[in-house]
Amino acid sequence: MTDAMLQEFEPYIESWTLIPSDGGRFEIEVNGKLIYSKLKTGRHAEIDEIRQAFREMINRR
């Protein structure tokens, strides 16, 4: 997932953080903003879902 996202959005990314841990936590932060949280949704993200969240973040700039 990281490679695909970096190829598509690299010009917009200052930092990209994947936060895996035990206990079911899986979160993605881009430029310090949380764009996906498994804890909130109860499931893993699909790559298209992450792409859409990233596009929405870019459009809010």
Q: What is the CATH number of the domain that holds 32?
A: 3.40.30.10
Q: Which residues of 20-40 are buried (b: 16+ CB within 10 A; e: fewer)?
A: eeeeeebbbebeeeebbebee
The list of the chain residues with pLDDT below 70 reads 18-21, 61
The pLDDT value recorded for residue 4 is 83
Q: For the chain, what is the domain count? A: 1
pTM assigned to the model: 0.66
Rounded to the nearest 10 degrees, the angle between the axes of helix 2-9 and helix 47-59 is 30
pLDDT digits (tens, 9 = 90+) for 6-22: 888 888 888 877 666 67
The pLDDT value recorded for residue 34 is 87
The whole-chain average pLDDT of the chain stands at: 83
The pLDDT value recorded for residue 19 is 66
